[in-house]
Chain A
Amino acid sequence: MVNADNSIVVEGLVREFKKGPRAVDGIDLRVEPGEIYGFLGPNGAGKSTTVLMLTTLLPPTDGTAKVAGYDVVHEGPQVRSMIGAALQEAALDNLLTGRDHLRLQTMLQGLPRKERKARGEELLIRVGLTEAADRKVGGYSGGMKRRLDLALALVHRPRVLFLDEPTTGLDPQSRTALWDEVARLAREDGVTVFLTTQYLEEADVLADRVGIIDHGRIVAEGTPAALKAEIGRPSVHAIPERETDRARIASLLAQFGDPLGDGDLAVRLHGGYGLADVVRGVDAEGLALHDVELRAPSLDDVFLAKTGRTLEGAAEAEESAPQPAG
C-alpha cells in the first residue's frame, strides 16, 4: 500500500461527453514528486475535467493516468488514500461549523479516535481558523471557506494535493495567504501539488512548472521562466495622443515588430529593435503618444503566442458558448 512515488503521470488522457466536444483531448504530462504544477487555461479549457479524472471522480474515455504510482481507473481506492483535493467551489455544509467539518472528515478518512481531535486542531491553527472554528460555515467569507477546504483536503496527510482554482473570487490578501500555505506544503512537506488556475500571476508566482491547456490540449509546458524565454522578445504597447493617429501609429509600429492583435496598438519587437527606436520613429513621423510601455514577456504572451488569443479573450469566448466542466 505504501508507495514512495508522489508523481503524477498522464499519457493520452481523453474525456468525451455525450453530444459534446472532447473536453480533454489526449493530454500527456508528468508532475514530479514535491513539484507544484500549474495547469493554466481559460474556463472550459478542460482543467476541471482533468482534475476530476485524476482524482478518480470521472472515468477517462481513453488514455492512462497514474497518481502516486496508482492507476486512476483500476486502483481508485489506493489513489484516493494518497490524494487530497479542494475542488472548484468549496463544497462545504453551511449548517456545520468548521470544527464539525474537520470532525466529519477525520472520521471518514479513518483516523484513529485519539488522533482526530489533535489533527483537527493542528489544521485549524495551520489555516488560521481557530477562532472561527465553532461558527457555522454559512457565515464564513470566501477566503475562510477556501482555507477550511484546504484543511479538509489535508486531514489524512495526502502525498498529492489537487487544487482546482483555489483562489477564484478571493481578495488579494486571502489569495497570498493561500499561496504561502501551498508553497509551504510543497517545500517543507514534500507534497506534490497539481493546481489549476486561470490567473497568470498565480501560475507565475506559485508553480515550478506550468502546463497551458486550451480546447482540451496542452499547448505549452515548462517553467514560467522557460516559457517566457521561449517567446523571448519584449513587446511595446502604445496609446495615441490623438485617436485619429491610430492607423498611422499602427502602421509605424508594424515596422518594428509583429502586431499582437486584440485591437491594441502593440507589437512584439523584432530582434535588434528597442523602445528608443520606436519613440524616435514616432517623433520622426510627427506623431504624439499619450503613453508607451515596454513589457517583458508574460505567461499571457505565451498563451497568445501558442493559441493566437489572450487568456482573457479566450475566457470571454468560452463563456459565451456552452461548455462541459472547465
Chain B
Amino acid sequence: MSATEVFAPRSSVDVLATQIAAVAGRSIRRTLRQPALAIPPLVFPVALMFVNAAGLEPSTLLPGFPTDSFLAFALAVPFVQGALFATMNAGTDLARDVQTGFLNRLSLTSMRGSSLLVGQLAGIVVLGLIQSVFYITVGLVVGVDFAAGIGGIAVLLVFSLVVSLGFGALGSFLALRTGTGEAVQGMFPLLFVFLFISSMNTPRDLIAVDWFRFAATVNPVSYLIECVRSLIIEGWDGRALALGFGIAVAIAVLSLSLASWALRERMTRT
C-alpha cells in the first residue's frame, strides 16, 4: 500500500469511542506505571484517617455525636481526600503534555477536543473508583458497618465517580490554563484548606467556634463528606444525599465547562 492511500472511513461514533478509549487507556497506564503517583492517594488518606481516629476517638463521647466509632465517622474523609489527589494527578499529567508538546502531537491527529477531555477524565474516574473500592475494603476490614448496606456501597461508588469527575476536571482546567505542573501542584494546599475547614473531624452542629462552624457550613466540601458519612453511619438520609450529589454534580458541571473552555483556548489549531 502506498503512503498516499487512505484508510476506509468509519462512523463518527465509532471514531469518538475509540479516541476516548485511547486517551483513557493512556491515562490509566501512565498512572499505574508511576507507583509514586498511584500509591499516595491510596495510603495517605487512610493513614491520616487512622491517625485522626487514634487522637479524636474521645470525640464520640460528646453528646449528640452520631456514632460511637470515630473510624466509621472518619471513613468518609478519604473519599474526598483521594479525589483531591486525583485533581493534582490529572492536572499534573495534562500540564506535562502541554509543556512537552505532547498536546500538539494530539492536536495534529483527527482527535476531537472532547475526546481528550473525556478520555483523560475517564482514566481519572477509573482510578477514583479503584481508590474508593480500596477505602471501602479498609473500612470493612477494620469493622466499620455500612449502615446503608450493599445498596449504600453502590451509591457510594457512584458518588465517588461524580466527585472524581468534578475534581479531575478542575485539575484539567488548572493545567490547561497555567500550562505548568508546578502551578497545579501549587493549588493543592489551597484545596486541602477546604478539606480541613470542613466537617471532616467534627459534626457541624458540634463545632463550638463560631467562625469555624460558619466556614464549615459554607464550605461545599463539608456536604461531600456528610453525604458519604450518612451512607456509612446513618443509612439513607435523603437530605444529605441530595446536598452531596447536588454539590458534586454542580462542581462537575462547572469544572467540565471551565476545562472545555480552557481546552479550546489551549488547542489553538484552526
Whether B102 and A91, one on each chain, are in contact in the complex, defined by CB atoms closer than 8 angstroms, is yes
Closest A-chain residue to B15, C-beta based? A110
Whether A112 and B10, one on each chain, are in contact in the complex, defined by CB atoms closer than 8 angstroms, is yes
Taking CB atoms, residues of chain B closer than 8 Å to A109 are: 109-110
Whether B6 and A157, one on each chain, are in contact in the complex, defined by CB atoms closer than 8 angstroms, is yes
Whether B19 and A108, one on each chain, are in contact in the complex, defined by CB atoms closer than 8 angstroms, is yes
The yes or no answer to A77 lying at the interface (CB within 8 A) is yes
Closest B-chain residue to A86, C-beta based? B105
Whether B3 and A91, one on each chain, are in contact in the complex, defined by CB atoms closer than 8 angstroms, is no
The yes or no answer to B101 lying at the interface (CB within 8 A) is yes
**Distance, CA A19 to CA B229, complexed state (A):** 54
**Distance, CA A284 to CA B228, complexed state (A):** 99
**Distance, CA A111 to CA B22, complexed state (A):** 12
Closest A-chain residue to B33, C-beta based? A95
Whether A107 and B18, one on each chain, are in contact in the complex, defined by CB atoms closer than 8 angstroms, is yes
Taking CB atoms, residues of chain B closer than 8 Å to A156 are: 6-7, 109-110
| Residue interface mask B219-240, A partner, CB < 8 A = 1 | 0000000000000000000000
| Residue interface mask B1-18, A partner, CB < 8 A = 1 | 111111110100001001
Partner among A73, A76, A89 whose Cβ is within 8 Å of the Cβ of B101: A89
Taking CB atoms, residues of chain B closer than 8 Å to A105 are: 109
**Distance, CA A150 to CA B8, complexed state (A):** 23
The yes or no answer to B108 lying at the interface (CB within 8 A) is yes
> From residue 117 to 142 of chain A, which have CB atoms closer than 8 A to chain B?
136
**Distance, CA A113 to CA B10, complexed state (A):** 10
**Distance, CA A185 to CA B4, complexed state (A):** 10
**Most chain-B CB neighbours within 10 Å: which of A73, A83, A95, A156?**
A95
> From residue 39 to 67 of chain A, which have CB atoms closer than 8 A to chain B?
55-59
Taking CB atoms, residues of chain B closer than 8 Å to A178 are: none
Whether A189 and B4, one on each chain, are in contact in the complex, defined by CB atoms closer than 8 angstroms, is yes
The yes or no answer to A152 lying at the interface (CB within 8 A) is yes
The yes or no answer to B26 lying at the interface (CB within 8 A) is yes
Closest B-chain residue to A162, C-beta based? B108
**Distance, CA A131 to CA B107, complexed state (A):** 29
Whether B7 and A85, one on each chain, are in contact in the complex, defined by CB atoms closer than 8 angstroms, is no
Partner among A6, A56, A154 whose Cβ is within 8 Å of the Cβ of B269: A56
Whether A107 and B7, one on each chain, are in contact in the complex, defined by CB atoms closer than 8 angstroms, is no
Whether B30 and A93, one on each chain, are in contact in the complex, defined by CB atoms closer than 8 angstroms, is yes
Whether A108 and B21, one on each chain, are in contact in the complex, defined by CB atoms closer than 8 angstroms, is no
Whether A73 and B270, one on each chain, are in contact in the complex, defined by CB atoms closer than 8 angstroms, is yes
The yes or no answer to B249 lying at the interface (CB within 8 A) is no
The yes or no answer to B69 lying at the interface (CB within 8 A) is no
Taking CB atoms, residues of chain A closer than 8 Å to B115 are: 108
> From residue 83 to 104 of chain A, which have CB atoms closer than 8 A to chain B?
83-85, 87-89, 91-93, 95-96, 100, 103-104
Whether A81 and B110, one on each chain, are in contact in the complex, defined by CB atoms closer than 8 angstroms, is yes
Whether B104 and A91, one on each chain, are in contact in the complex, defined by CB atoms closer than 8 angstroms, is yes
> From residue 30 to 49 of chain B, which have CB atoms closer than 8 A to chain A?
30, 33-34
**Distance, CA A110 to CA B6, complexed state (A):** 11
Q: Which 9 A-B pairs have the closest CB atoms?
A: A91-B101, A189-B3, A107-B22, A76-B270, A108-B109, A108-B111, A56-B270, A91-B102, A157-B3
9 further A-B pairs in the complex, CB-CB below 8 A; given A93-B102, A100-B26, A107-B18: A73-B270, A84-B108, A87-B101, A104-B22, A104-B26, A109-B110, A110-B15, A115-B7, A157-B2
Q: List 16 A-B contacts (CB under 8 A).
A: A6-B4, A79-B270, A87-B101, A87-B104, A91-B101, A107-B21, A108-B19, A108-B109, A110-B7, A110-B15, A110-B19, A113-B18, A136-B33, A156-B7, A157-B1, A157-B5
